[in-house]
Amino acid sequence: RLPQETLAFREELDVLKFLCRDLWVAVFRKQMDGLRTNHQFLAFTCGLLCGALSTLGFQSQVTASVATLPACKFQVVIQKS
């Protein structure tokens, strides 16, 4: 569990840093940069990222693409309110 006091974000970049550094490591016990995954789990991971952003108050669209296995790339689009 992450302390809620530390989850006050001022900019979108801070939110993405939180997702990459803190949330990803807490869920997968790996850094995001070197993550290897199977394409069958991409829907779960996209939903996880989208749900985390929603909980933080950001509406978003998260998509994933696989150019060459086992690597994948995520695109996070935060929608302005």
Q: What is the pTM of this model?
A: 0.58
Report the pLDDT value the prediction gives residue 31, as an integer from 0 to 100: 75
Q: Model confidence over 4-34: pLDDT tens digits?
A: 566 667 777 777 777 778 888 888 787 776 4
Report the pLDDT value the prediction gives residue 69, as an integer from 0 to 100: 67
**Domains of the chain in sequence order:** 4-78 (3.30.1380.20)
Q: Model confidence over 69-81: pLDDT tens digits?
A: 677 888 889 887 6
Report the pLDDT value the prediction gives residue 37, as an integer from 0 to 100: 47
Q: How far is CA 57 from CA 33, 53, 61, 78, 80, in A?
A: 25, 6, 13, 10, 11
